[in-house]
Amino acid sequence: MKNISLERSKKLFQQAQKVMPGGVNSPVRAFTSVGGTPVFIRKAKGAILTDEDGNEYLDYFNSWGPMILGHAYPPMVAAVRERIEDSSSFGAPTELEIEMAELVCEMVPGMDMVRMVNSGTEACMSAIRLARGYTGKDKIVKFAGNYHGHGDTFLIKAGSGALTLGLPNSPGVTSGTAQNTLLANFNDLASVREIVAANRGEIAALIVEPVAGNMGCIPPQEGFLQGLRDICTAEGILLIFDEVMTGFRLAPGGAQERFGITADLVCMGKIIGGGMPVGAYGGKREIMSQVAPTGPVYQAGTLSGNPIAMISGLTQLKALKKDPAIYDRLEQKTERLHEGMDALLRKSGLPYQINRIGSMISLHFCPDPVVDYESAAQGNNDYFPHFFQQMLNHGVFLPPSAFETWFLSDALTDAHIAQTLEAVAASLETMD
């Protein structure tokens, strides 16, 4: 089999390392856990990424989730092009922001009001501050292996890059901050009840990824989310769904719609910006009214609600709302990929687990079901880096870590899925 040439990526990586820590602006991009040269991308169209050496790949990391309609989605390109002629920022209110807020409130269950920010990190940080301000309490509960961005409060057993790099507790986070973060186990209501009982009356909020996506994909077990809702309601704790990954992906209304459970606050990111830097948090009017300038909880942003970012996200959200059949198509394609991989892996004799929900899927090379942080960590072995490199060499770009979810886009065709399964078969042949 031919090895693809990454000559130019290699050169660029050397150059980049001199001026950027690790040569990247976000850690997992450096390929630390899968080895080899990070692939420098030049452009993308639909489901196809083109790198700086001219190699083409089917895209399954999807910019980590935002590009659900595929790259360079023509209506978005046209809308952005038109809008930027009228300048890229004002720092004053625009009509576009109302349209965006109205659409988000219409699509997302329980969302009376929303505030735009610039990233998922910012959304989660702000939601926690608001929860603390609203309840007058300091402590929060999070789940091991869940990732809520790089805010200090969350860098305690965090998923995603922190987990990939084995940095679950980051230096620079003060012990005072860490003390206010209580850790529970995903899919384990007993661990939540125990923490709540030991900290009665002191917990502002419980934040959870309704489908964990930053330690691979881990769907909630039957009754888990409802259990969290019940505990929070009974104890006066705000339930925060971090839907940065699941929002607009699992359904037009995200995991809340899919599971029929309404949180008190919801954090969004990724799809909401269509690839532009956008995050948002919102929920009940009574809580959101505490945000400045109506309330005392301060939160601001020079570029928040930026017109180019808004038109990009709005174009994508409108398309998703208008054609919910997109979600059925995505689900069918993901199921086909799942079944195909399952058959090939069973034949291979390798230990494996495939988790899937909607258009989120992940492969862990371990024998036991992956339901939480500990079981996911068992899949962090030599199999994944090898598989990743083989898939890359066969023209399929997976997220470069055993702890990341693969995302399908509507631009992937049945032929692409078949091509992907051929790559899986060829890759597995090199493994034993």
**3-class SS string, 175-191:** HHHHHCEEEECCCCHHH
CA distances from residue 69 to 163, 315, 360 in whole angstroms, order as listed = 28, 11, 14
Name which of residues 246 to 305 contact ligand PLP (CB under 6 A): 269, 279
Taking contact as CB under 6 A, which single stretch among the options 43-51, 183-191, 239-247, 305-313 is the one that binds ligand PLP? 239-247
Q: From 323, 332, 342, 356, select the one nearest 413 (Cα to Cα).
A: 332
- Please identify the residue of the shown chain whose CB is closest to the bound ligand PLP: 120
Q: Phi and psi for 134 in degrees, rounded to 5?
A: -70, -40
Among 59, 209, 257, 410, which residue interacts with ligand PLP (rule: CB under 6 A)?
209
> What DSSP element (H or E) covers 278?
none
Options 137, 157, 270, 333, the catalytic residue:
270
Options 147, 281, 327, 373, the catalytic residue:
147
For the CB of residue 369, give the shortest distance to ligand PLP in the complex, in Å. 22
User: Rounded to 10 degrees, what is the CA torsion of 328, 372, 377, 36?
Assistant: 30
Among 153, 214, 304, 389, which residue interacts with ligand PLP (rule: CB under 6 A)?
214
Q: Which residues pair with 281 in a beta bridge?
A: 115, 267
Known catalytic residue at 270? yes
Name which of residues 294 to 353 contact ligand PLP (CB under 6 A): none
Known catalytic residue at 45? no
Total residues contacting ligand PLP (rule CB under 6 A)?
Answer: 16
For the CB of residue 149, give the shortest distance to ligand PLP in the complex, in Å. 4
Known catalytic residue at 11? no
CA distances from residue 41 to 6, 8, 38, 56 in whole angstroms, order as listed = 11, 11, 9, 10
| Contact pattern for ligand PLP over residues 22 through 61, marking x by CB under 6 A | ----------------------------------------
For the CB of residue 399, give the shortest distance to ligand PLP in the complex, in Å. 11
Alpha-carbon distance of 274 to 265, in angstroms, equals 22
Options 51, 59, 142, 242, the catalytic residue:
242
Which residue lies nearer to ligand PLP by CB, 6 or 245?
Answer: 245
> Which strands make up the sheet holding 238-242, listed edge to edge?
113-117, 279-283, 265-268, 238-242, 203-208, 139-143, 181-184
> What DSSP element (H or E) covers 116?
strand 113-117
| Contact pattern for ligand PLP over residues 114 through 153, marking x by CB under 6 A | -----xxx--x----------------------xxx----
Helical segments of 186-251, H only = 189-198, 224-235
Write out the residues near ligand PLP by the rule CB under 6 A: 64, 119-121, 124, 147-149, 209, 213-214, 242, 244-245, 269, 279
Residue positions annotated with a catalytic role: 147, 242, 270
